[in-house]
Amino acid sequence: MITRREFVRGGVAAFTFSFAAPEFLSDLARAQGTSRRNLVVLYLSGGNDALSMLIPYNDPQYRERRPVLAIPASNVLQIGSDRANNALGLNPRLTGLKSMFDAGRLAFIQRTGYENSSRSHFQGTDIWSTASPQVSQGAGWLGRYLDTIAQPDPLVGWSTTRDVPRSLLANRVGVAAIPSVTGYALASPNPGAEAGFARQAATRIASHVPVDLPHLAFVNASAQQAFATLDRVAQVGLYRPTVTYPNNGFGQALQAVAGAMAAGVGTRVFFVQTGGYDTHAGQNTNQANGSYANLMATLNDGLFAFYNDLVRQGLFNDTMILQFSEFGRRINENGSAGTDHGAASVMMVIGGNVRGGIYGTAPNLAPFPDNPTLENNGNDVRFETDFRSVYARVIDNWLGGNSVQVLGGDFRAAAPQVV
């Protein structure tokens, strides 16, 4: 039997539609009694170096173990101390995030991860996507949530990447993959009125759902749902933001998300990805145009534009941004002025109803054998907060779901109360 994932990968192209299989994510509009609540899942691809983003600048081992990459205390953007009195500061390129933090709308959750962290990009991403360190196969954690919801809108989920991410794959529903608003259209070889006639004909053909031909019924039903979303997505292309977004992939993806929210197209969960975080060499944290400085600038400028746009549009209180990466980096810099694959990292949660602040404690970077905040012979940061507890808080308190059912375990007790 054909699956939705197989259809997404090959079936649509055969029918000349330039969009991925539609349908996904439940009526999150009803969660917590609001009709416009949104979740934006942000993936920093490659393994983010938490110690260069959220910096324990007073720890002497930070400079000792990173003689080239350590950012001087005089340059960090100080944001206070955690509950263990570890002084912390942001990367100097994160001025916009500092403003969000000062406004109480940005939460940093330190040392997030899981036991025996994978250092593999593929396995690590699968684990974070499925919320299952033991069996990182099957549906994603959000997909499993969606499977609990009846009658999802065909456009209730939107991935701004070309392929549907693992976290949003479900057993019974799908998600639209729309990397380009203008490209999400019926690909007709004819212009003008002829294209309209072609769409009308295709719509009539797809309206027939034969019960005795399940493969054809599946394709036609999926096509119907796609046609139902075309005009709504086209509205997003007309969006005029209140700010200027960066002219790069990340900034333009966030502008599309804001446009979808403003137009009220029905989407409630978005997925956005920005890459380049696999910084094995030439990380150059202290150079104005160094690779990690540029990563932080891209992240900061895109998120700050998005934040200001949503505030001005009156949408920020109904929005939550949840950021993750597949692992952190090694504490010691390597011989190529970079950092290798590590373990625990940092998560961010941003939103108008987020309880901002610093959650968890920074690691003690002293490499002695019985240091409880480190692992792997003192080479890596050990997790303190199970990432599934963060997911549990989002599912229960933002999406209005049942985290025990979705995650297959109870992670609520240790969940940081970010919302």
User: Tokens for 221?
Assistant: 């039903």
User: Which of 411, 21, 16, 13 has its CA nearest to residue 221?
Assistant: 21
Alpha-carbon distance of 8 to 6, in angstroms, equals 5
Phi/psi at 214 (nearest 5 deg)? Answer: -60, -35
User: Tokens for 52?
Assistant: 């260069």
**DSSP 8-state class, residue 25:** S
**pLDDT tens digits along 180-221:** 998 876 555 666 655 454 455 555 654 555 656 665 555 545
Query: What confidence score (pLDDT) does residue 150 get?
Result: 76
pTM reported for the whole predicted model = 0.87
Cβ–Cβ contacts within 10 Å for residue 306, how many? 28
Which residues have CB under 8 Å from 119's CB, separation 6+?
A: 327, 341, 342, 343
Residue 149 has pLDDT above 80, yes or no: no
**pLDDT tens digits along 372-411:** 999 999 999 999 999 999 999 999 999 999 999 999 999 9
Residue 4 has pLDDT above 90, yes or no: no
Cβ–Cβ contacts within 10 Å for residue 280, how many? 16
Q: Are 327 and 343 a contacting pair, CB within 8 Å?
A: yes
Which residues have CB under 8 Å from 314's CB, separation 6+?
A: none
Banded model confidence at residue 130, pLDDT cuts 50, 70, 90:
very high
3-state secondary structure of 139: coil
Query: What confidence score (pLDDT) does residue 6 get?
Result: 43
**pLDDT tens digits along 245-290:** 999 999 999 999 999 999 999 888 899 999 999 999 999 999 989 9
DSSP string, 322-343: EEE-S--B-SS--TTSS--B-S
Burial class (CB in 10 A: 0-12, 13-18, 19+), 181: buried
